[in-house]
């Protein structure tokens, strides 16, 4: 009996010690992660902020050893505030809005996530991510951000105008070889309307030519604006705008623009007087549809091929600071926020599609209902094809490219598309401007 009592006493002492050692006070074990988000401004919305509050609280509940400190732009520009946080030595541990990822890398702001991705690959279920989104921020053997939103730029069309003109609506399959650029031009011509007084009554097409979109047209014809070294390093090396493929691409673009306008934006699509918009981001499509609520029936389709299919992608990842003192905690948060369950909750209000296929059904159903024409399956077909042939926007994957996008391309392209200057002259001017920009970047 004595031995039993002693054994029990010893066991209670050991258990007590284990309890004391294994459950430290919360104050001693909890770490704080600073999370920088848009916070209802600079591209965010009130709904997004409310969603963030909910999912962040759930993360803290599931991870009591981590406290989240939320930082927002507080009315300032998102990138300006992020830059200020870094220059003052107070960077966040993680942040959400994608943007100039390659520029962040060149500035030494990002932690390479490849070791964590490799370690937890099975848990991440990489096969659930769309292909374009998954590869968006991988180069040089590094993985710079976990994709959350990923948005192809498809063709937007007015189904009512197509039916009125006796035309079949554009194909949704990016592998449909019959959907060519020449067929697009023919559609635009038939949808273009001019009244007896010579005034344009209906545009056949709006060609988006803002800085993000402008280079994409060269991809359709096997051209590019940069050499291979630029993509392998994400640092601008050599401009390759002057090529036979690029000249063909922009000659085709000029031909298309005869039957509409070439501008930054949708230029009146939701008024019902535009047949198609080429390269319209899904965020803009959904916002326009929500604002007009069934005024017109619309759909999205594949971008027609030139000599090959191509698509523009814009992917927003979650990133981890290279200066974080808590990389494992930050990675745990990144895995949570890019999980299927969290992405799925975003689709109940978000206007841009999430990067996981399994999380998309609610988004697809919302898009189908707003369309009044297309099924959820049709919308998915367009999204999946855009991911298959998609390439991430230049300003996301080439360091320092954003200013050139807006300054060089927007300064030169309008004269070409309005036939004030020849294609070859404008491409020469773009080449010169780009090379000057590269030289200035190297001086810094």
Helix (H, G, I), strand (E, B) or coil at 118: helix
Torsions phi, psi for 129 (to 5 deg): -80, 145
Q: Are 14 and 73 in contact (CB under 8 A)?
A: no
CA distance 177 to 30: 57
Q: Which of 229, 164, 214, 154 is closest to 190 using CA atoms? A: 164
Full pLDDT tens readout for the chain, 444 residues: 444 334 433 433 333 333 333 333 344 589 999 999 986 544 457 888 899 999 999 999 999 999 999 999 877 888 889 999 999 999 999 998 877 899 999 999 999 999 999 999 999 999 999 999 999 999 989 999 999 999 999 999 999 999 999 999 999 999 999 999 999 999 999 999 998 888 889 999 999 988 889 999 999 999 999 999 998 889 889 999 999 999 999 999 999 999 999 888 888 899 999 999 999 999 999 999 999 988 999 999 999 999 999 999 999 999 999 999 999 999 999 999 999 999 999 999 999 999 999 999 999 999 999 999 999 999 999 999 999 999 999 889 998 876 666 677 778 888 899 889 999 999 999 898 888 888 877 776
- Considering the four listed CATH numbers 3.30.420.40, 3.40.640.10, 3.40.50.460, 3.40.190.10, the one that applies to the domain covering 28-152+315-366 is 3.40.190.10
Strands 193-194 and 200-202: antiparallel
**Residue 128: how many other CB atoms lie within 10 Å:** 15
Q: Which of 157, 307, 284, 143 is closest to 212 using CA atoms? A: 284
Radius of gyration of the chain (CA): 26
CA distance 393 to 316: 11
CATH 3.40.190.10 residue window(s) in the chain: 28-152+315-366, 155-312+398-443
CA distance 298 to 225: 33
DSSP state of 170: P
155-312+398-443 has CATH 3.40.50.150 classification = no
């Amino acid at each position: 009996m004595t031995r039993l009592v002693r054994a029990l006493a010893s066991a209670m002492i050991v258990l007590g010690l284990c309890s004391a050692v294994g459950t430290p006070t919360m104050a001693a074990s909890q770490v704080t992660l600073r999370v920088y988000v848009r916070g209802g401004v600079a591209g965010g919305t009130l709904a997004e902020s409310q969603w963030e509050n909910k999912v962040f609280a759930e993360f803290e509940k599931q991870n009591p050893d981590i406290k989240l400190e939320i930082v927002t732009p507080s009315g300032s520009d998102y990138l300006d505030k992020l830059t200020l946080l870094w220059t003052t030595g107070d960077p966040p541990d993680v942040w959400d809005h994608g943007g100039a990822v390659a520029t962040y890398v060149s500035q030494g702001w990002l932690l390479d996530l490849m070791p964590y991705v490799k370690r937890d690959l099975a848990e991440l279920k990489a096969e659930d991510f769309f292909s374009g989104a998954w590869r968006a921020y991988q180069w040089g053997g590094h993985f710079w951000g976990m994709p959350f939103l990923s948005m192809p730029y498809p063709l937007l069309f007015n189904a009512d105008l197509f039916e009125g003109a006796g035309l079949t609506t554009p194909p949704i399959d990016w592998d449909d070889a019959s959907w060519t650029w020449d067929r697009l031009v023919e559609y635009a011509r038939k949808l273009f309307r001019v009244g007896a007084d010579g005034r344009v009554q209906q545009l056949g097409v709006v060609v988006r030519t803002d800085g993000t979109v402008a280079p994409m047209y060269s991809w359709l014809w096997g051209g590019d604006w940069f050499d291979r070294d630029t993509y392998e390093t994400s640092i601008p090396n050599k401009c390759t705008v002057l090529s036979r493929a690029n000249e063909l691409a922009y000659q085709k673009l000029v031909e298309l623009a005869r039957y509409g306008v070439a501008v930054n934006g949708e230029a009146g699509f939701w008024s019902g007087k535009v047949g198609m918009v080429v390269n319209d981001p899904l965020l803009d499509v959904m916002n326009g549809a929500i604002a007009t609520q069934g005024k017109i029936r619309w759909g999205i389709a594949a971008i027609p091929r030139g000599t090959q299919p191509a698509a523009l992608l814009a992917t927003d990842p979650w990133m981890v600071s290279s200066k974080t003192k808590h990389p494992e905690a930050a990675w745990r948060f990144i895995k949570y926020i890019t999980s299927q369950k969290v992405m799925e909750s975003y689709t109940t209000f978000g206007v841009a599609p999430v990067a996981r296929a399994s999380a998309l059904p609610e988004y697809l159903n919302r898009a189908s209902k707003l369309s009044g024409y297309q099924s959820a399956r049709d919308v998915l077909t367009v999204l999946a094809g855009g991911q298959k042939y998609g390439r991430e926007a230049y300003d996301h994957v080439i360091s320092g490219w954003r200013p050139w996008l807006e300054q060089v391309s927007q300064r030169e392209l309008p004269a070409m598309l309005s036939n004030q200057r020849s294609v070859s002259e404008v491409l020469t001017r773009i080449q010169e401007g780009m090379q000057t920009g590269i030289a200035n970047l190297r001086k810094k």
